[in-house]
Each structure stands twice: as structure tokens, then as C-alpha cells.
Amino acid sequence: MELLPGLMSGSADARTGSLTIAGRSLGREALLSAAGAVASRIAGAPAAAVYASASLETAVAVLGGLLSGVPIVPVAPDTGHRELHHVLSDSGAVLVLAGQDEPGVEMASWASCGVPIASVSLSEHCTLPTGPTPGLDGTALVLYTSGTTGVPKGVPVTGRAIAADLDALAEAWAWTPEDTLVHGLPLFHVHGLVLGLLGPLRIGSKLVHTGKPTPEGYARANGSLYFGVPTVWSRITQDPESAKALSGARLLVSGSAALPAPVFERLEGLTGLRPAERYGMTETLITVAARADNAHRRPGAVGKPIRGVETRLVSEEGEALPYDGTTVGELQVRGATVFDGYLRRPEATAASFTEDGWFRTGDMAVIEPDGTHRIVGRASTDLIKSGGYRIGAGEVENALLAHPAVREAAVIGVPDDDLGQRIVAYVVPDARGAVSEQELIDSVARDLSVHKRPRKIKFVDSLPRNAMGKVRKDQLGKH
């Protein structure tokens, strides 16, 4: 198929077990055969969700969707009931694809949402159809992003955008079929799924997914190219022996949040490699990246726009700002990787684009005279980046407010050496009943996802507000 020539051409078949996830391997022919069986079962469906665990079954399910032209909706395994119900109904998914050996308790929770679950088996085989395969213009994936308020929004991603992004990144990182990519990132986000799974299948390189991104797993994999988020790299630097084992790689890539300078420096000291940082969003895929051939990569610099992408820096009034290395403005992007609009959200789509077609990232950046970008913060305080995840504060606040013992809630991200940011919630309890910190943390984990739970709950008598009644999050903890 057009999207995955590295898989379809057989270039990845030069190695036994071209795809390894959590210690299990699958060659090209077996992968295509099992995915063909999935494709034949779901053909014609408006959309199919995937229980996106770190497994070969997830890879087969996603590939089956691509082969059939059915949009795939990858969903985190720990997604809570309310969030899951929203994603399934909003996306139009009519079934859930899941490995037959996934945890029974979780499957029971998913089944309660009323969408049938179809088992994915590696032993099921089907000959691929000989007719035309889906082109690149249709929706390949529907990814859900938290944003800053309300429920997650669906982001339709076309095969053409994925192809453009992966080809440009292959150019930027000198990524070839001779590489072995290693990572342990979730298979329901851009980083782990699009770059980390579809990337090797398009380029033809070998993939070793470690199941969980442990220092020991990365050290054992013997890769040439490694992907990680700051939390992963931080933990690897705390295990010097595992870090030193990566010194044989040619490139370490970090993304999803800013890599702290101390982690960058420790990683370089232990491996001899300067990490390459990159920047992107669910709506845009990866748009800016440090290059493999730039030996002067430095902390905080995410590189230059990749081929097919343009960026600009603007003031709050929308005026163009200089690329002088000091002036801060909002980063806006346009190009081949940018989505067309949110699923069923015309108002949100209109608000996200300028009149002349640039996507408003909401991130603040500085651009140096040579075009190197540095992301310096968020235009609002309501998008939290923790452990590589982008988490909307409003979503967590809504989950807290759903608890009968909570009267008011405000959520912020505070700096954390390991996670990048940790979620802290300020809660005004309802006078009618007492509630414990752990009870509220567990409640959010059940309703949303485990990684969206607050790490700390602070009980207060009131929240600081301005004259319009809006919570002053910059004053939290100071009054």
C-alpha cells in the first residue's frame, strides 16, 4: 500500500522478526497475513477503535485498518468509562479491536460501553486482496487530544499527512532501512504510534518495542535509533550502566515535552550522544526537528521546520515578530502535516486557524536568526505535559467536580524532575461530606486515565478569583 512501502516491498523482511513488541516477534509475511484477516472483517465499517496496548495485536489491528481503509481510533488501555464512552460515540466506532488475551477486567469495562469487541489473533490468516489499496487522502487515524477544556476532541489524520511527516523525518534523522528503532512508548499517541510503529513500516527499518520504556529494556535492545520522552531519558540517566549501553546508537530522539537541560547533559555525558529534540502536536504531527547531521544540538532547541512545513512567530495582535533569538511569540504552523479540522467541532476548528490558514499552536516560542526554534512555554496555563502526555486541566477539573464531595476544583502543572510536570489539584470540599486525598485521586483515575490523576490534592477554603470570577491559577498556593 502507498502508506507503508517499506512493509509492502519486503525491505523489512531482510531480518528475522522485523517487528518485536514486548519480547514477541513477527515477520513481514505473518504481519501482513494477520492484518489482512482484520481488514476483511472490518471492511466497510465507518470507524474501528483499538485497545492500544503495547502488543503485536495492536500493530496488527492498526495495520488491518490501514489495509481496509477503515479509520482507526487508538484508545489507551487505562481509559476510564466516561472518557471511553465519549471517544467511542464521538468517533463513530462500531467495534473495538483487541487482543484475545487482554485483561478480562478491563475488557469487561470496555464491553459495558455497548460497542462489540472483536478479538485480534496472530494466527488468523488471510490473503491480501489484489485490487487497489486505499489511497492517502482518506482518514487513516482518529486521535483524541485533551486540549485545555472540556472533553477530548477527535483529530482525523490522513495517510497523506502521515506519509509526508515520516518522509521528512527520515530525511532529518537519516533514518533508513538499515536502522533498528527502539522505544517503549504508548501505541495510542503520535510519538509511539505514528513515528514509532508506522515509521518503521513505511521506511522498512526493524522495530524493537520494549513493552515498557525501562532503562534495562532500552539497554538490551542494541538499537541504532532510540525514541523517548523526557521522563524516559531522566530514568535512564539514573541508571548509568543502562545509559552507557546506548553509546553504540547513532541518534537519541526526545519529544512530547521539553527535555530538561540537566537530563540532556547527563545523557550526553553517559552516552557520548547529544539528544535530538523535536516539536509537534496531535493536530500537526511533528513539524520541527533537530537534524541528525547537526553535531551542535543543545538543550531546549527543537531544530528547524521539516520539509513541507512552514512556521511563523506572531504577537498577541497577530503581527509578525522577528527571529532574533529573544522575542517571544505564539508559534503558528502550516503545511503538509497539519490536519484540516476537529471531528464534528466546526467552532473549535475555526478558532484554531487564522483567517489566512495558519494553525494556532498555543505554544510560545523563540526563533533564532538561523531558524532554530525554542519552545518556551504555553500561551495558557491549562495544558499540562506530564510523563510525555498532554493533559487538559479542565478535563481533570471536571472529573473532580463530578465527585459529590467536591464543590470547587482547580488544576495546574508544577515542575517535576521526573515527569516534567506533575498534576496538582486545589479542591474546595463540599461542607456536606468529608473526602480523602486518595479517594479523589482514585476517582479521577477511574473516570479518565491513570496518567491523568493528580499526584497531589490540596484542600483549601476558597479559590482565588478575578473580578470576572475566573480562577487566578497564578495565585494558587499563595493565598
Whether 325 is in a domain gets the answer no
Separation of alpha carbons 412 and 424, rounded Å = 6
Q: Which of 178, 212, 246 is the last residue of a domain?
A: 212
**Residue 432: inside a domain, yes or no?**
yes
Find cell 471531528 and name the residue. 343
Judge whether 173 lies within some domain: yes
- Predicted local distance difference test score (pLDDT) of residue 376: 78
Least confident of 331-335, 349-353, 430-434: 430-434
The pLDDT value given to residue 469: 56
| Residue 334 in domain | no
Percent of the chain with pLDDT over 90: 67
Q: Which of 181, 212, 243 is the last residue of a domain?
A: 212
Q: Report the CATH number that the domain containing residue 390 is assigned in CATH.
A: 3.30.300.30
Residue 396 has pLDDT above 90, yes or no: no
> In terms of Cα–Cα distance, which of 236, 224, 226, 225 is closest to 264?
236
Domain count, the chain: 2
Mean pLDDT computed over every residue of the chain: 90
* Mean pLDDT of the 313-338 span: 93
Tell me the residue range of the domain where 413 lies.
383-475
- If one compares 346 and 379, the residue with the highest pLDDT of the two is 346
What distances in angstroms separate CA 271 from CA 219, 267, 274, one per listed residue?
11, 6, 8
Q: Which of 212, 244, 260 is the last residue of a domain?
A: 212
Within-domain flag for 232: no
pLDDT one-digit tens code per residue, 255-304: 988 888 888 999 999 999 999 999 999 999 999 999 999 888 998 899 99
In a domain, 199, yes or no: yes
Q: Are 137 and 48 in contact (CB under 8 A)?
A: no
> Residue 165 domain-assigned?
yes
Asked whether the predicted pLDDT for residue 118 surpasses 70, the reply is: yes
Q: What is the CATH number of the domain that holds 9?
A: 3.40.50.12780
Residue 128: inside a domain: yes
Instruction: With CA atoms as reference, report the closest residue to 148 among 391, 365, 375, 475.
Output: 391
Q: How confident is the model at residue 40 (pLDDT cuts 50, 70, 90)?
A: very high
